[in-house]
Amino acid sequence: MRVLIALISVLLLIVPSLLAADTLPRELSDEAFWRLISDFSEQGGAFRFEYMSNEQQFQYVIPRLRENGRPGGVYLGVGPEQNFTYIAALQPKMAFIIDIRRQNMVEHLLYKAIFEISADRKTFLSRLFSRKLPAGLTEKSTARDLFQAFKGSTPDPELYGRNLQAIKDHLMKVHSFKLSGEDQASLDYIYRVFFEASNAFSYTGAAYGGFAGATYADLMTATDQVGQARSYLATEENFQILRDMHKKNLIVPIVGDFAGEKALRNVGRYVREHGSLVSAFYTSNVEQYLFQQDDDWRKFLRNVSTFTLEPSSTFIRSSHFAYGDSQPPAQFNRGRFIQLLSSMTEVTHAFNNGKITNYEDLIAMSR
């Protein structure tokens, strides 16, 4: 009898689609969107890096993700714009971006406003970096065409001021989001960073704090392993997928600690109550730090164990390590991240059976 009860419990978590219809909303009202942010968020915290990405191979795993998964479900992620590329590729019904930094939530609201008021990629880039539109760009322009054209356009202080006011008006007047004074100050600061990003359009491997960094142009013009461009700015179609989800309030930024007791569990409960499942979870390299912070990694994996999953539900992680078929984990060049995938159901099963005790165990389950 105990075995039967345990089996039923596993089925309830892993195969919700067999038990209930997916009732995820096709669109959220502004009130419902802001309520999710307010109710699900935790107290903000700090992370040791911001406004930097050196995950230049982040598109390498997209072909495998698309082959092994299917559109739908709920995407979870951490950090800023890297998520947009994965969302465009996977096309979930809904997405939650969970990050311990409240500033990251504000940055996603800034992105949301710019997506919504920009009809296409070239207008989006013009508003994001406060540069006048170059001539000659079309909906067929590649990401490299876009960044090469904007490289010759200088930041415009007058355009910056108008754009910033338009962003605030869109968030606070059109959507009626209740941004605090601190949130508005963060928005000012973040948008200023974009305005002053003079090297954003250069193709370089500049170093930041000892790590091999990447410019915005580097990340958006990167490709997968066979040279196919898959960033969210690679095609107009990718951009419009994101724009449509933003306009429907279906990309929800949450302030949360992966090891916390509220954010991830609230998201998991929301997904479960709507008869859906978590299709992918982009964790970047956060898990590595959780293993360095007492038993935070255990708290995180306990949170993940409450998710409704299916066999194709996938962790997307970044690491300096990789695991070979017949050798222990090997460290790569400092600052050079690679992207790895692993089954969320296999990881949670291994954790619940005591087979994960350190970060290397997690990497050993990744390819």
> What pLDDT is recorded for position 328?
46
E strand or H helix at 283 = strand 278-284
Q: pLDDT per residue over 234-272, tens digit each?
A: 999 999 999 999 999 999 999 999 999 999 999 999 999
What whole-number distance in Å separates Cα of residue 125 and Cα of residue 128?
5
Nearest CA among 100, 127, 331 for reference residue 239: 127
User: Beta strand pairing status for 338-343 and 327-331?
Assistant: unpaired
For residues 131-164, one letter each, b for 16 or more C-beta atoms within 10 angstroms of the residue's C-beta and e for the rest, the string is beebeebeeebebebbbbbbbebebbeebbeebb
Q: Return the pLDDT at 169.
A: 98
What does pLDDT average to in each consecutive run of 10 residues of the chain (367 residues)? 45 48 95 98 71 72 90 94 95 97 96 98 97 95 96 93 98 98 96 88 50 76 92 97 98 98 98 97 94 96 97 92 50 65 97 95 92
Distance in angstroms (rounded) separating the CA atoms of residues 177 and 113: 11
Say how far apart CA 193 and CA 5 lie, in whole Å: 54
